[in-house]
Copies of this chain bind each other. A is one copy, B any other.
Amino acid sequence: MTQATIRDVARRAAVSVASVSRALNGAANVHPDTRARVIAAADALGYVPHAGARSLSLARSHAIGVVLPDLHGEFFSEIIRGLDREASARGYHLLLSNIQDGRDHVIQALRAVRGRVDGLVVMAPHVDPAALAAMLPGSLPKVMINTPASKGGSTLRVDNRGGAEAITRHLLDIGRRHIVHIAGPANNSDARERYEGFKAALPQRADVHVLEGDFTEPSGAAAIAELLARKVPFDAVFAANDMMALGALQALREAGRRIPEDVALAGFDDVPLARYLSLTTIRVHMADIGTRAAARLIASVEAKDEEPTDELIVPALIVRGTTVREP
């Protein structure tokens, strides 16, 4: 048997579809008897309102579109978890639309959700912000995560620069002077900002090496291998994310370097593994970002007058055993 529609319910209750709609949506002007009959009929038929039709009629979907890259590791999940938590608490659903690299996919993703969602949460670190702004549907409320510029939408950003500065200062504070930075991909804005923070914290005359990784564990190990091969002297490593730091950690240990005595090591993100391996890092609480993004978006969906805001989230320095010998 096919799903019952509002018309089936109306027929069975011997009322009009209008009354069914009113009765089921809790409108005031419905006679108690009518409401009872309607509910009984709906019940008997196992009627469930067709959300698609409903949102077409109301011009409101109670869904928010989430456009994210296919992030590896915990990020993806943490953001989604945060988004979902807030969204479902406020009666919204999440429509996921993942993207690979490349503008075309972003456009596709954005187009695909039009008419299905009331707002958009977009995170596209590898896409040029201006291009992004241009292709975003102007009418839809949106929140951008970690997007430098913003036009007509709210923005939520992690203070990558500040975090990188803090961690670099920490390395200096514990007396390290030959600091190596394993950077992320050059086309990634998080990576760039962290690199900038790193440079900003260093004194002019500092002895510095920078290698580029790709945010993966092997690339962290590879960077260390290269340093060792080139016999570069160093007493500290700041990797642009935890996964690379973990790769570096492994490689350093295998090379017989003591951590933190010979080499102090720090990452960025504070993935769950970091705690277990006692990695000094910067805690970026992505779930929290998701929650805030959803909250902000829903606010601007429900009150059209909301001002776009830009929020900068300052992550915390977490000092652990890879930079300071633990008790």
Judging by beta carbons under 8 Å apart, are A56 and B48 in contact? no
* Interchain CA distance A118-B56 in the complex, whole Å: 17
A48 pairs with B97, CB closer than 8 A: no
Contacts A63-B95, A93-B95, A277-B276 known; A113 to B77 CB distance under 8 Å? Answer: no
**Minimal Cβ-Cβ distance residue in B for A53:** B56
Interface positions of A from 84 to 122, Cβ below 8 Å from B:
84-85, 88, 93-98, 111-116
Q: Quick one: given A77-B77, A93-B95, A98-B88, are A48 and B111 in contact (CB under 8 Å)? A: yes
A210 and B61 alpha carbons, distance in the complex (Å): 49
| Given A52-B61, A96-B96, also A114-B3 (CB < 8 A) | yes
Beta-carbon contacts under 8 Å, A37-58 to B = 46, 48-56
With A3-B139, A77-B80, A273-B276 already in contact, the answer to whether A113 and B93 are too (CB < 8 A) is yes
The chain B residue sitting closest to A72, CB to CB, is: B81
Query: In the complex, what distance in Å separates the CA atom of A95 from the CA atom of B76?
Result: 16
Residues of B near A113 (CB, < 8 A) are 51, 93
Which one of B46, B84, B96 lies within 8 Å of A93 (CB-CB)? B96
Which residues of B have CB within 8 Å of A114?
Answer: 3, 48-51
Q: When the two chains form their complex, are residues A138 and B1 in contact, meaning their CB atoms are under 8 A apart? A: yes
User: Cβ of A25: which chain B residues have Cβ within 8 Å of it?
Assistant: none
Which residues on B sit within 8 Å (CB–CB) of A235? none
> Which residues of B lie under 8 Å from residue A84 when comparing CB positions?
70, 96, 98
A196 at interface (Cβ–Cβ under 8 A)? Answer: no
Q: Would you list 13 pairs from A and B whose C-beta atoms are within 8 A, ordered by A residue?
A: A48-B115, A48-B137, A49-B114, A52-B55, A52-B61, A52-B116, A53-B56, A54-B115, A63-B116, A76-B77, A84-B96, A93-B96, A96-B96
Per CB-CB distance, the 4 closest pairs between chain A and chain B, nearest first, are A77-B77, A50-B115, A52-B115, A94-B96
Given pairs A52-B61, A77-B78, A95-B95, 13 additional interface contacts (CB within 8 A): A48-B111, A48-B114, A52-B116, A53-B115, A63-B95, A63-B116, A70-B85, A76-B81, A77-B81, A80-B80, A246-B276, A272-B272, A276-B276
